[in-house]
A and B are shown apart, each in its own frame.
Chain A
Amino acid sequence: MDHSVVLQEQVKAALGAGTPLVITGNCTKEFYGHRVQGRRLETTVHTGVVDYDPSELVVTVRAGTPLVQLEQLLDENGQMLAFEPSSFGGRASVGGTIACNVSGPRRMVLGAARDFVLGCRVINGNGELLHFGGKVIKNVAGYDVSRLMTGAQGTLGLLLEVSLKVLPKPEAEMTLAYEMGVEESITMLHRWLQQPYPLSASCFDERTLWIRLSGSSAALAHTHRRLGGQAVSDSEAFWRCLNDKQHEFFGDTGPLWRLSLPSDCKPLALPGKWLYEWNGALRWLRSTASADAVRRQVEAVAGHAMYYRGDRQRIDTVLHPLDPRLVPIHRRLKQAFDPERIFNPGRLYPDL
């Protein structure tokens, strides 16, 4: 159902009253940012696929649509969201997924959510309904506001509708496992990545490296012969479980950090348990190390760290502090889209 007019009225009312709005889908990713004080603006009423023609490789969908519903439709047509977002237990909305740039195992090969966003309809902080980008794969008219909105966690405007590029599902997939340590996994992966193997995901810990191959059956068989490795019985379940944080590594409730780093950097000298994805570029760390210690280490390799889970009292900011030189531009962009600061104020950083 199209609720854009109702949503726009709610935004205008909030503007009139000067009450901040907390944009809410199904609350699966509240922890991605800081808690926001204000009135809830429910997006889950604004649902439905607006346009989908599989041969265009583009789908346009309203933000409140459940992600699983969209994925099912694509699946029926042999297609997929190539950034493989987690559905957070089946409850995530499309809007929240894009607002948080949620991307899964295929990210290092095919790209993140932002790479597949082609256009959007948004309500900005003046209560205006605006349309950027479009439903076509190539479009350079105007600034790329659609990708700017991706990952902005609603602080620049309310996403009403997004157009996404979709891809055909691979004909076949298989997962291979290798017994090896972390450093060896990093070395092996980077050697393989310089070759045109059909790698579509990787994950490793201190004992095992898992890789996923995607493509034609013939290509998979051929690559398996070249790379060896033990085929894992339920390939799909393995990556789904990892993507949905059902892997035993995530079972603990202690502090969990998400580190984004250059893929080939050496294991960091931080105490705790590690799990690696995205060829080593995404590293999960369960550790009681101080925020300072974690940030110092990742900054040394030009990465960043998000405090993904754990006691919020312990830290000042969930996301990595911004490069001070970029702070003024972030403030001015917030001002440009949401001058009254009514959308999710403080969710990303205190002054955004």
Chain B
Amino acid sequence: MEEKVVMPDPIYSEPYDPTLAEKLYNPAKPMENRITDIGPPHYSQFLPPIIQKNYGKWKSHLILQAGVMKYTSETGDVVYVVRCGTPRLETTDYIREICEIADKYCDGYVRWTTRNNVEFHVTSEEKLKALMEDLKNRKHPNGSYKFPIGGTGAGVSNIVHTQGWIHCHTPATDASGVVKAVLDELFEYFGSQKLPAKTRLALACCLNMCGAVHCSDIAILGIHRKPPLIEDDRLEYVCEIPLVIASCPLGAIRPATVEVGGQKRKTVRINLERCMFCGNCYTMCPALPLSDGEGDGIAILVGGKISNRISPPKFSKLVIPYIPNEPPRWPTTVQWVKKILETYAKYAKKYERLGDWAERIGWERFFELCEIPFTDKCIDDYRLAYDTYRTSMHFKFTSHIEIK
């Protein structure tokens, strides 16, 4: 990038005009004044000048302490970065507070990471000190940190997660609440670097996995365990039956006609044995509700990774098939996550990711060390299940085998 610094478009400094849209948008002529297909604002205007100047010239990084990094450019320039966890679900006032900090220390520039952390950039050590001090002292009224510093190196980073009960119609658990409960308990691991390697946690509140948790070191997954309820008396009025039938990935739904109160009603029937509780049908049809306070809960999957470092990326594996929902603090889920994390921390070698450790010691040993009861639910019976069966003599005699 050239020497000339690109500044943010001046339009952003003009105050928001709450009346403008009403003047521009004419419901009778919806295309009038309509601007479309302009994409996102160009990123270059949002890069701090030091970043623009050193674009593509960065040479190395050094973590000064958990959450605080120093980047050095081949030009000799240095930038300090402070990484803070955020709850992801937040208000505009929280964003404004981030802006206030960025205005005060960072000339108004700020960025977020893919894992919902926010990063502040400064160019001098004095500013860094003042910034960190300031961040540490910002708390919500009931004592939680607004901007906990951490999320780097061999620690736990922020939890990638989904919408849960705050916004989605198919969740089997909440998202933000579970995340808060887990991170309260793992807080010290966010702000320190004492694990064998980076440990990435993720949560998705149903099998749709909007958070794509399937390649995480520890994944928390909401699951349903009851098939949809069929509201025969209402279904034909609120659902299009062909669409409902087509929505089931397993072809478990067929049309049916039943009598309700002496009247013939068009509805559907579900082959219960084929249902995997995914909720796709409910998405098409509000008369097939799925969630159930007793049936729903959480499954834990572990050992996935995305980075190609040392070993290739891999999927997380199901180790705890079900834990009931326990709002507001999900103690059983939290304890299992902590137990797995700390067992891994105790036994794994330096640089070894959770999945690599489990593979090295064998999954039978993993279950034993983590004291997770092994059940038939962990033996795959979906497609390509055979890939996971043991077809060798290479196994260990763990406590699971009774030698008589």
A and B bind: no
Interface on A for B, CB 8 Å cutoff? Answer: none
